[in-house]
Structure 1
Amino acid sequence: MSVMTDRPHMLTEDFEAVARIAAREREGTRLEFIDGVIRSKAMPDGDHGRIIQWLLKVCMQSRPDLFLHPAQGIKAQEYRDGRAFPDAVLAHPDAFVGQGDWADPAPILMAVEVTSWDSDTQRRDHVEKPRAYAGTGIPVYLLVDRAKCEVSVYSQPNGRRYESVHIVPYGTDIALPDPVGITLQTEPLKDWVR
């Protein structure tokens, strides 16, 4: 089977209807629509959830004016025709009030992904998501790669990609640049790997 590259699998509004039905019929099912392709996002395991909890606490302590919103659906890509479920996004507390299933990404300061153990993690989290988030204009993309035991910070989006990428192994401090302005001490991540 080949993937259509010249046109999307379906219209964005049709995808939204399918995603709503899938979420209702199969609790916990999260579908994404990036580069015109429908993908199912893996259910997070316990260590994945613990990493998000850790980030939530770090963000609340460092930036009490902001909130790390877990699993907020967003309109993604350059023309907002994609749909993504970042593991979390950093924005002000009321950023998504009244926005429905797929929020406008304008207030997002940082998108967060924590890798899963499914087969398309490398393509999705290292290629498709950075491209989609940069196209959306999200200032910072934080990727916690559990297979590689690395943390990547993407910044300076130019509308197609991030101009700056910093990668460090677990245990190394890494700065989340402005507008986030937090330094992560990544030592605790060593406790949440297989």
Structure 2
Amino acid sequence: MAVMTTERPQMELDQFRNIAAIAAEREDVVFEFINGRIGVKPVPDGDHGEIIRWVSKRCMQHRPDLWLYAEQGLKVERYRAGHAKPDGALAHDGAFAGQGEWADPDQVLMVVEVTSYDADTHRRDRVEKPVAYAEAGIPVYLLIDRQAGTVTVHSEPRGDGYGNISTMDYGHEVVLPTPLGITLDTEELKRYSR
């Protein structure tokens, strides 16, 4: 069995772009490139979309100066060619103007991921993305975990992950810390999880 390390990417960004262009005709999955590896996640279902709508609405109620950009491509690694498309990227209006498909994450205040019902969601959303988003310096990573019925707030990014991680079951109030200062009542999320 081959042992893989995170020292070198499995492939280069241009190779990934070629594969993604060919795979773009598929309608059932979305491709990402994180830590030099291809990530595949299923196309979001209706409940997934409702959760993103819910987060967007709550954030705009508290912070009308911000917008939750869906599926905005971000450059997520400081030293390697890495890209991710979070379910949502919270930033000021116009933050991504002129940046193209893969934007610099320096204006992102929070990324949002909603777990999918697939075998890869643990590695992708709970393990790899917190590290990638922290390395990119994104202040808050909000993970809405439909399998566990929990909301996890990652904050205080550092090089190897987030220094503060708080998980609450659906139905509790969750505080999105500085620079957001938003409190979410998560009771409604019970409607959108199996």
Using the size of structure 1 for normalisation, the TM-score is 0.93
**Equivalent residues in 2 for 1:47-66, closer than 5 Å:** 47-66=47-66
Partner of 1:18: 19
Alpha-carbon distance between aligned partners in 2 of 1:29 and 1:20, rounded to the nearest angstrom: 13
Where do 5+ consecutive residues of structure 1 fail to align? none
Cα distance, 1:180 vs. partner?
1.4
Q: Is the 8 A contact 2:86 2:112 kept in 1?
A: yes
Using the alignment, how far apart are the partners of 1:149 and 1:50 within structure 2? 15
Corresponding position of 2:166:
166
Is 1:157 matched with 2:153? no
**8 Å Cα contact 1:72-1:86 kept in structure 2:** yes
Q: Which residue of 2 aligns with 1:33?
A: 33
Conservation of the 8 A alpha-carbon contact between 1:73 and 1:84: yes
Matches within 5 A, 1:24-173: 25-27=25-27, 29-79=29-79, 81-173=81-173
Hey, what's the Cα distance between the residues in 1 that align with 2:64 and 2:80? Answer: 29
The CA distance in 2 between the partners of 1:135 and 1:188, in whole Å, is 31
**Is the contact between residue 72 and residue 88 of structure 1 (CA under 8 Å) also seen in structure 2?**
yes
Task: Report the AA paired with residue 164 of structure 1.
Answer: N
Partner amino acid, structure 2, of 1:26:
R
Moved over 6 A (4+): none
Superposition TM-score, scaled by structure 2 size = 0.93
Output one character per residue of 1:13-42: Cα deviation in whole Å (capped at 9) or x when no partner: 33234324432x235642111122111121
Which whole-Å CA distance do the structure 2 matches of 1:2 and 1:93 have between them? 46
- SS of corresponding position for 2:190: helix
For the 8 Å contact 1:78–1:160, the answer to whether it is kept is no
Q: Is the 8 A contact 1:114 1:145 kept in 2?
A: yes
For 1:76 and 1:28, how far apart are their aligned partners in 2? 24
Q: Secondary structure at the match of 2:103?
A: coil
The one-letter code of the counterpart of 1:49 is G
Q: How many residues align?
A: 193
Give, as a single letter, the amino acid of the residue that structure 2 aligns with 1:179. Answer: P
Q: Quick one: percent identity of the two aligned structures?
A: 56
Q: Give how far 1:80 is off.
A: 5.5
Is 13-22 or 163-172 further displaced after alignment? 13-22
* Contact 1:32 1:39 (C-alpha < 8 Å) held by counterparts: yes
Identify the residue that residue 188 of structure 1 maps to in structure 2: 188
User: Does the Cα contact within 8 Å between 1:75 and 1:84 map onto a contact in 2?
Assistant: yes
* 8 Å CA contact retained: 1:116, 1:146: yes
